[in-house]
Structure 1
Amino acid sequence: MSGKQVYELTIDDFDSCSVWFFPMDDTVEDELTVRPLSDQDACTDFQILVRTVFFGVNRAAYYGYLYWSSNAEVEYLKPVVLSEEGEAVTFWNGIVTRVWESSEFACSIRSELPLSYVSEPVFGLPSICGKLEGLYYLSDDQVCCVK
């Protein structure tokens, strides 16, 4: 299977497979290539993305994913909320200071802050729960947040 680029993942992709992984071998196009994961043994060998549900303060539910990690800090989990139309709101932006986009989807997400989230427990890995206050980035070795 050739896989797809991580930024091309959709809600439908996570409906068909709740876990995706970065193969990182010579069969992939580049380091952004992901494939569905169906083998429990492989889940410890690769970075994986896990289907996640996000809940807004007004009880709206959104779907997306996070990078499964035993470290629950946002910079390791890199949460992403997906829309039915293919838009994405990425909550970790590394050293890039982000501003909220003016799209209808991004505005609806922002109006629901803080978002709580829970990932699916997969292949014996526990689910990860947490809360997002805004868009996160790194500045002078400090994690900052744009609400």
Structure 2
Amino acid sequence: MRDKQIWELTASDLHDVGVWCFPMDESVEDECTVRPCVEEVDLAMIVRAEFCDADGTHYLGYVHWSLVEHIGHRQPTLFLNDGTAISFWGGIVKPCWDEASDEAKRISFPITFKSEPLLGLTPMVGFLEGMYYLDSNDQISCLSIGGR
């Protein structure tokens, strides 16, 4: 499998390869390039994860592997059935439910996620109450389902 930009990853890619790394060297186009990872490396990585919403619907996705329990470090992302990737971390951009697809709006919060224990990496678990971002005071805020 070839290098990709992180936004080009699909659920099928994650099904085929559970860990992708960010090479960050002269062999890649830019810092958004990911490559299949077959062994644990000292690089930033994303790891396949399972997400489950409050209604029991399961989704495939990924998290940035980090032992730091911070939404900005882990940046959980799931794939909807239509292939759309939904990231729960917006950084400095406040998310807007109005722009979400109908399928995304059907997700029931809270959502739990757990990464797979691939390549000897410790599984990460998390709990999402909505979409997260940094507010004007650089504090983490959550746009919950009631904030649609």
Query: Same fold by TM-score, threshold 0.5 exceeded?
Result: yes
Contact 1:2 1:28 in 2 (8 A): no
Matched to 2:106, the amino acid is S
Q: Does 1:88 align with 2:85?
A: yes
Please state how far the C-alpha of 1:94 moved relative to its aligned partner.
Answer: 0.7
Q: Does 1:56 align with 2:53?
A: yes
Q: How does 1:42-121 map to 2 (within 5 A)?
A: 42=41, 45-100=42-97, 101-109=99-107, 112-121=108-117
Counterpart selection for 1:134 from 121, 130, 133: 130
Contact 1:2 1:27 in 2 (8 A): no
Q: After the TM superposition, which of the residue ranges 83-92 and 4-13 deviates more from structure 2?
A: 83-92
Rounded Cα–Cα distance in structure 2 between residues aligned with 1:99 and 1:114: 17
Quote the sequence identity (%): 42
Structure 2's unaligned 5+ residue stretches are none
Q: TM-score, normalised by structure 1?
A: 0.92
Contact 1:11 1:84 in 2 (8 A): no
Q: TM-score, normalised by structure 2?
A: 0.91
Please state how far the C-alpha of 1:122 moved relative to its aligned partner.
Answer: 1.8
Rounded Cα–Cα distance in structure 2 between residues aligned with 1:4 and 1:35: 7
Q: Does 1:28 align with 2:28?
A: yes
Structure 1's unaligned 5+ residue stretches are none
Please state how far the C-alpha of 1:2 moved relative to its aligned partner.
Answer: 4.8
Matched to 1:91, the amino acid is F
Q: Does 1:38 align with 2:38?
A: yes
- Runs of 4+ off more than 3 Å: none
What CA deviation, in whole Å up to 9, does each residue of 1:110-146 have, x standing for no partner?
xx10101110012222111110000000111210000
Q: After the TM superposition, which of the residue ranges 85-94 and 46-55 deviates more from structure 2?
A: 85-94
Q: How many residues align?
A: 142
User: What is the Cα-based RMSD across aligned positions, in Å?
Assistant: 1.2
